[in-house]
Amino acid sequence: MKKPAILIDLDRCVGCQSCTVVCKMENDVELGEFWTKVVHMGPYGKFPDLQMYFMPKLCQHCEEPSCVDVCPTGASFQREDGIVLIDHNKCIGCQFCVMACPYGVRHLDKRSGVVTKCTLCAHRIDAGEEPICVKSCQQRSRIFGDLDDPNSEISKKIQAAGDKVYTLTDTGNHPKVRYILQKADWKG
């Protein structure tokens, strides 16, 4: 079984926000809301030894998604390949999934009254394409692939980076997005 995931090489990201913009265009994300965005980390340290990096954030498509566990209608669900999605025809807009997400990546779409978030561009993946944020990343910072395939680019990159591969804080949900950071100290 394939395990599609995104790896983000933070050493390459320049914070251009093109992923943020194309994601909004591709997925018709509500004005003022985001499915992915790039957060500035730092600067840290003491002059002249300062560090900073750019941190793209998005739904982590967790292995044990707490948002799915709390959903009272089954609208939030996990596909067999691990992608976490929301069936908008079942969602009642109770927002308990928003409360249960440690990363704050879900929001209530006020236009439709349902909760929305990054789908990992499942519609594109199913058509054999990459998520739009990966395709449009001019720095090739985002890499999409199969975590279960040791020969995939994503698996090789993770292996090569050794202990410089990170995830966001794990509160028991096991986030799946991987981050590589070698040129600065990881601050989460």
Partner 1 sequence: MEIQWHLVFYTLLVGAGVGVFALVAISELMGKGKQYHMSGSIISLVLLALGGFASFLHLQHPERGANILGNFQSPITQEMYLAVVTGLFILLYIVMIKIEASTLSKKVMAGLGLVFGILLVFFSGLLYVFPARPAWNTLLLPLIYFTSSLSLGIFVLYSWIRFKKLEEKAVSDFAMKALSALLILQSLLLVGYLVFLSANPYPDPTRSIGRVMGGDLTAFFWLGVVLVGLVVPLFLVFQSIKPKAGHSLPPLTIGAVGILATLVGGVAFRTLMYLLGTTVEKF
What does the binding site for partner 1 look like in residue numbers (CB under 8 A)?
34, 37, 39, 57, 66, 69-75, 89-96, 98-105, 108, 113-114, 168-169, 171-172, 188
Between 105 and 143, name the residue whose CB sits nearer to partner 1.
105
Minimum CB distance to partner 1, residue 169 (Å)? 5
Number of C-alpha atoms within 13 angstroms, CB side, residue 177?
A: 26
Reduce the DSSP state of residue 149 to 3 states and report it. coil
Between 94 and 184, name the residue whose CB sits nearer to partner 1.
94
Minimum CB distance to partner 1, residue 173 (Å)? 8
Between 34 and 144, name the residue whose CB sits nearer to partner 1.
34
Which helix or strand (DSSP H or E) is residue 9 part of? strand 4-9
Minimum CB distance to partner 1, residue 115 (Å)? 9
CB of 69 closer than 8 Å to CB of 26: no
Minimum CB distance to partner 1, residue 106 (Å)? 9
Between 15 and 93, name the residue whose CB sits nearer to partner 1.
93
Minimum CB distance to partner 1, residue 183 (Å)? 21
Name every residue whose Cβ is closer than 8 Å to that of residue 28 and which is 6 or more positions away in sequence: none
CB of 13 closer than 8 Å to CB of 183: no
Between 37 and 124, name the residue whose CB sits nearer to partner 1.
37
Tell me whether residue 102 is exposed, middle or buried, using C-beta atoms within 10 angstroms of its C-beta: 0 to 12, 13 to 18, 19 or more. Answer: middle
Which helix or strand (DSSP H or E) is residue 171 part of? none
Structure tokens at 177: 């997005």
